[in-house]
Amino acid sequence: MNLILKKILLEFRSHIEKVSWLFVVAAVFAHLLLTWLVLVLAGETKLTSLHHYFYYYIVTTSTVGYGDLSPSTDIGKWFVAVIQIPFGLALFGVLLGKTGQTITDTIKRSMTGENSFNHYIGHIIIFGWHEKRTSKIIEHILADNKRIARRILLAVTDEIQHPFASNPHVDFVKLTSYTDLEQLQRVAISYADKVIVDGKDDDQTFTTSLRISKLVKTDCHISAYFNDDSKIEMLRDHCANVECSSSKSAEMLVRAMQDPGSSRVHEELLSTLYGDTQFSLVVPDDVDTLIFSSIFHAFKDNHNAIVLGVARSRIGDELELNPPLDYSVKAGDVLHYIASERLLANEVQWQALVK
C-alpha cells in the first residue's frame, strides 16, 4: 500500500513539474471568475459582493467552511458541491505543490551554485575557494563596520556546495570557467565594485586577472593573490587596475627576528577584527592642494588616526611612506592611515586644511 501511495505521489509530482506557473495562475483565476459569474447568475448577492467574495471563495474552496457564508439557492448549492469545491481543491493542490517545488528548487540552486546573479550591481566578487583563507577573507570584509554594504559573491569551480549558506551576506555561484565570457556574465562582472582573485594556483590567478581586467568598469578595483612573485611583474605590465600581493612570510620572519613584536604589529594593521587597522581614503576631487603636515595633524587631533603615506593611485603608484611635512597632497591622491575604524571622506573638514 505504501509503495502504491509513493508511486502515486511521485507521478503527481512529475506532472506538477511539467506545469508552468502561468498555467497554474491562469487556471486559478479562471476558476475564481467562473465561480463568481455563476453565483451572480444564481442570485447569490451576499456571496458575490466585493467585501465578501474573496473571503468566501478561499474558505469554501479550501473546505475550511466556517459556515458564516454559504449559497442559499439550489443552483448555487449544486454548483458549489459539483464544480467549485472539487475543481478548486485540485487547483489548490497543484498550487501548493508548485509552490513547494519552487521553494525546494530555489534552495537547491542556491546550495549548488546554479543561480545567476547577472542582475547584481556594486557587489564584491571572490574568485577561488580555499577552506580556511576564504573564510578569513569574508570574516575580515564583514568586520569593517563602516564599509559600504556590498553583497559578497563567492565564485568557484570546485565541486562543493554553498560553504556560507548560513551567512545572509554571502551568495554562491559555481562556474565552469573563470575566463569564459558567458560564465562571467552570470556574476555580473561588468557591474562589480571590488574583485578578489585567489585561484587554486598562480596560473589560474594570472589568467583570471588578465581576463577580467578588461571586463570590469573603470573604477572597479581588482586584488590578486600569488604564492610567489614570478607572475606579478608581468601582470602589472598588462593590467593597471590589478593590485597584486604575495606571501611575505620570509620578510615577516626577518622583521620578527630583528625587531621582536613586528609580527604582532603587522597582524593588527591587517586585521579589522581587533586593534587599529590600516585603511585608505581618496582625497575628494573638489579639494585644493594640501600639505602633508596639515593632514597629519588634523587626522591625529580630530580622528585619532595616523597618516602613514600618500599614493597617486588606488593600487599604490608613487607611494610615499612617511613623506616630508611639506609634501603636496592633491585631489585624487590616496591617503593610507591607521585608526580604530574606517574614516569616511565626508567626515573630514577638508576646507579647513587648505593652505
Q: Please, are residues 246 and 228 in contact by the beta-carbon 8 Å criterion?
A: yes
> Does the residue 92 lie in any domain?
yes
> Does the residue 255 lie in any domain?
no
Residue 262 to residue 257: CA distance in whole angstroms: 9
For the segment 25-82, what is each residue's pLDDT rounded down to a tens digit? 888 899 899 999 999 998 888 888 888 888 988 888 887 878 788 888 888 889 988 8
Would you say residue 354 has pLDDT above 80?
no
Residue with the larger pLDDT of the pair 38 and 237: 38
Residue 334 to residue 295: CA distance in whole angstroms: 12
> Tell me, what CATH number does 72's domain have?
1.10.287.70
pLDDT at 11: 56
243, 326: one domain: no
Q: How confident is the model at residue 252 (pLDDT cuts 50, 70, 90)?
A: confident
> Does the residue 262 lie in any domain?
no
Would you say residue 4 has pLDDT above 80?
no
If one counts the domains in the chain, the total is 3
pLDDT at 129: 95
Share of the chain above pLDDT 70, in %: 95
Mean pLDDT is highest, among 127-131, 143-147, 311-315, for 127-131
Q: Please, are residues 305 and 348 in contact by the beta-carbon 8 Å criterion?
A: no
DSSP-H helix ranges across 131-187:
131-143, 181-185
Q: How confident is the model at residue 123 (pLDDT cuts 50, 70, 90)?
A: very high
Average pLDDT, the chain: 88
User: If you compute the radius of gyration of the chain from its CA atoms, what whole number of angstroms results?
Assistant: 31
- Please identify which residue in the block is written with the cell numbers 578569513: 136
For the segment 176-235, what is each residue's pLDDT rounded down to a tens digit? 999 999 999 999 999 999 999 999 999 999 999 999 999 999 989 999 999 888 888 888
Dihedral (CA of 153, 278, 302, 274) sign: positive
Would you say residue 149 has pLDDT above 80?
yes
Distances (CA, A) of 263 to 140, 169, 271: 18, 31, 12
Q: Return the minimum-mean-pLDDT range out of 1-5, 30-34, 62-66, 313-317.
A: 1-5
Residue 174 region by backbone torsions, left for phi larger than 0, else alpha for psi between -120 and 50, else beta:
beta
Would you say residue 8 has pLDDT above 70?
no
pLDDT at 166: 92
Residue 122 region by backbone torsions, left for phi larger than 0, else alpha for psi between -120 and 50, else beta:
left
Would you say residue 15 has pLDDT above 60?
no
> Does the residue 117 lie in any domain?
no
- Tell me which of 90, 111, 132 is where a domain ends: 111
The grid cell for 15 is 506532472
Residue 223 to residue 310: CA distance in whole angstroms: 19
Q: How confident is the model at residue 279 (pLDDT cuts 50, 70, 90)?
A: very high
Would you say residue 130 has pLDDT above 90?
yes
> Tell me, what CATH number does 195's domain have?
3.40.50.720
> Does the residue 264 lie in any domain?
no
> Does the residue 258 lie in any domain?
no
Residue span of the structural domain in which 101 resides: 2-111
Q: Please, are residues 308 and 336 in contact by the beta-carbon 8 Å criterion?
A: yes
- Tell me which of 111, 143, 165 is where a domain ends: 111
Give backbone dihedrals phi and psi of 42, rounded to 5 degrees, phi first: -80, -5
> Does the residue 269 lie in any domain?
no
- CA dihedral of 83, 85, 89, 91, whole degrees rounded to 10: 40
pLDDT at 263: 82
Would you say residue 10 has pLDDT above 60?
no
pLDDT at 6: 56
For the segment 72-121, what is each residue's pLDDT rounded down to a tens digit? 888 888 998 888 888 888 888 888 888 877 787 777 888 889 999 999 99
Please tell me what DSSP assigns to residue 199. -
